[in-house]
Amino acid sequence: MNRRNLLKNMALAAPAAWLPGALASRSLRLASAPTPFAPTWESLAQYQVPDWFRDAKFGIWAHWGPQCQPEHGDWYGRLLYEEGSDDYKFHVAKYGHPSKFGFKDVINEWKAESWNPDQLVDLYRRAGAKYFVALANHHDNFDLYQSTHQPWNSTRLGPRQDIIGGWAKAAKKHGLRFGVSVHAAHAWTWYETARQADKTGPLAGVPYDGRLTAAAGRGQWWQGYDPQALYAQNHAPSAAQTPGASPRQWDWGDGASRPDRAYCEKFYQRTVELLDKYEPDLVYFDDTALPLWPVSDVGLRVAAHYYNTNRQRHGGQLEAVVTGKILNEQQRRCLVWDVERGQSNRLEPLPWQTDTCLGQWHYDRRIFEQHGYKSAQTVVHTLVDVVSKNGNLLLSVPVRGNGTIDTDELAIVESITAWMAVNGESIYGTRPWQVFGEGPAQAQAAQLSAQGFNEGKGLAFEARDIRFATKGDVLYATALGWPAEGQLLITALAAGNPLRPQPVRQVELLGHGPVAFERTAQGLLLRLPAQPAAGLAYAFKIKG
């Protein structure tokens, strides 16, 4: 994601497949039941966000797949084919030239030998996550589940394990809602760099491996597998094919090569099988609106199928969440709006989500070595700010190729755990107040760019930055710093302010106890105790 995010997603399956008998018969039973959602935006607008998602507020994401194996950051499967790039140089030095050793071969290196999903999900549960999301496929087009439509999948190659199945089992054991993220709709264009060749040097003109076919696999480790089922490059390239590409090509415009019907239908079959087999509570689509929109109705069909089958499984109660990016007003009624690496600057009328990461989306060892992750305080501040605006935070904790997290990440997660143990009641099950907050940061908030990307561009939060949330008759006011002068003024709670005319009877600092206060025409003045240790943010429980 990020610059590499300008072009994301994609998919390409292999031979047409069949569903196992039990799955097929189950699908027929579901299909015979009433299906109130049709694959149109007008029909999907009936959607209501389930309470479990509104109450959860905080999820953790394992954005983990074969691109984590080199431990060299995001979009490795595309960037290794960009001659002269940092990833290209790293790849040539570590693995060899991409005409001889391409991304298909990186997949073969990935063994996930130390992966323990039960241990990681239990860690995230203790950190306060109420839902857990696992990568089901990325723009690299490799399915991390038992797929009958994509032979390039983790049960047959690489780790030879059902990654999604393992995550789903662990989430269920530890009582977390389970989600999957699907990024594969854009492989058609994302892998176009793999069809190129060096322009200079001793191998100039020698094609990379992106156009290989099954016939070339004779005697190779990948014999019997068609590389085109992975790379999806048996088509005319996009216009103006450049390493940076055009952001508008992400929406299938500006000369982007448009996928054919077979490609779109294969994506549909893969995704529906994923949803029917693993029954997730949430599906994250890394697309503008829905996958392959607007060149195909596949995304609409997937969403309608998912809503209908989820509703049937829950006795008529819809428990499903689908997220999408860069939504218009109509689409925001159909899906949950997801903002990538950014935050809305207003109190949103509908529930939404921001997704961000401690480092890069795919594990990058350089960030660990430089101790460059987001701090626990930054994560907590983001969570409090997003919750005040009617949103949820989905946090990615990068996973190493071997399936573990590093010591810096563990320390950050443990700090979040400690904060949540004291302050969780100000987060879970809350709803936004009449205003989301006050303080200098909101006046200097950066504007969203495309699907987000405004985090860290505004003023840093400080003690005067206060964010609100409610639960019943309780108002939570969380200060994003500790005032040096030992007192805090909350101007939105001034005497006579119509936002909260009822009297204030008690104020409690979570984790400490009651604090002295005075309500004046300037605001609610809190006289604070000695600063608590490792507070990160300070939640005050105000009763009226």
Residue where the block lists tokens 């105000």: 542
In angstroms, what CA-CA distances link 517 with 438, 488, 492, 529? Answer: 19, 9, 14, 12
Closest CA to 183 of 41, 61, 304: 61
Q: 340 pairs with which residues across the strands?
A: 355, 452
CB 336 within 8 A of CB 353: yes
In angstroms, what CA-CA distances link 393 with 273, 344, 475? Answer: 27, 12, 21
Closest CA to 291 of 352, 342, 335: 335
Residue where the block lists tokens 């099954």: 214
Report how far residue 27's alpha carbon sits from residue 288's, in angstroms, rounded to the nearest whole number.
28
Q: Which residues contact 544 (CB under 8 A, 6 or more apart)?
A: 473, 475, 500, 502, 503, 504, 505
- Under DSSP, is residue 78 helix (H, G, I), strand (E, B) or coil? helix
In angstroms, what CA-CA distances link 197 with 83, 100, 222, 255? Answer: 8, 12, 22, 21
Q: 353 pairs with which residues across the strands?
A: 338, 392
Q: Name the DSSP letter for residue 8.
A: -
- The two beta strands, 437-438 and 466-471, are antiparallel
Report how far residue 54's alpha carbon sits from residue 49's, in angstroms, rounded to the nearest whole number.
7
Q: 132 pairs with which residues across the strands?
A: 60, 178
Count the Cβ atoms, other than its own, within 10 Å of residue 403. Answer: 23
CB 14 within 8 A of CB 263: no
Report how far residue 115's alpha carbon sits from residue 164's, in angstroms, rounded to the nearest whole number.
12
Report how far residue 22's alpha carbon sits from residue 349's, in angstroms, rounded to the nearest whole number.
42
Residue 180 corresponds to which tokens in the numbers above?
Answer: 């999957």
158: left (phi over 0), alpha (psi -120 to 50) or beta: left
Q: What is the pTM of this model?
A: 0.92
Q: What is the pLDDT along the chain (544 residues), one digit of tens a residue?
A: 443 333 333 332 332 222 233 333 334 334 444 569 999 999 999 999 999 999 999 999 999 999 999 999 999 999 999 999 999 999 999 999 999 999 999 999 999 999 999 999 999 999 999 999 999 999 999 999 999 999 999 999 999 999 999 999 999 999 999 999 999 999 999 999 999 999 999 999 999 999 999 999 999 999 999 999 999 999 999 997 555 556 778 889 989 999 999 999 999 999 999 999 999 999 999 999 999 999 999 999 999 999 999 999 999 999 999 999 999 999 999 999 999 998 888 999 999 999 999 999 999 999 999 999 999 999 999 999 999 999 999 999 999 999 999 999 999 999 999 999 999 999 999 999 999 999 998 877 777 766 666 677 778 899 999 999 999 999 999 999 999 889 999 999 999 999 999 999 999 999 999 999 999 999 999 999 988 876 899 999 999 8
Determine which helix (DSSP H) or strand (DSSP E) holds 121, and give its type and residue range: helix 117-126
Closest CA to 276 of 300, 325, 312: 312
CA atoms in the 13 A half-sphere facing the CB of 334: 26
- The two beta strands, 391-396 and 177-182, are unpaired
- Under DSSP, is residue 253 helix (H, G, I), strand (E, B) or coil? coil
Per-residue pLDDT, 30: 40
Burial of 496 (0-12, 13-18, 19+ CB in 10 A): exposed
Count the Cβ atoms, other than its own, within 10 Å of residue 126. Answer: 15
Count the Cβ atoms, other than its own, within 10 Å of residue 344. Answer: 20
Per-residue pLDDT, 446: 73
Segments in 141-282 forming alpha helices (H): 163-173, 187-190, 228-231, 261-278
Q: Give the number of residues written for the chain.
A: 544
Per-residue pLDDT, 249: 85
- Under DSSP, is residue 448 helix (H, G, I), strand (E, B) or coil? coil
Query: What type of residue sits at position 295?
Result: V
- The two beta strands, 391-396 and 58-62, are parallel
CB 481 within 8 A of CB 461: yes
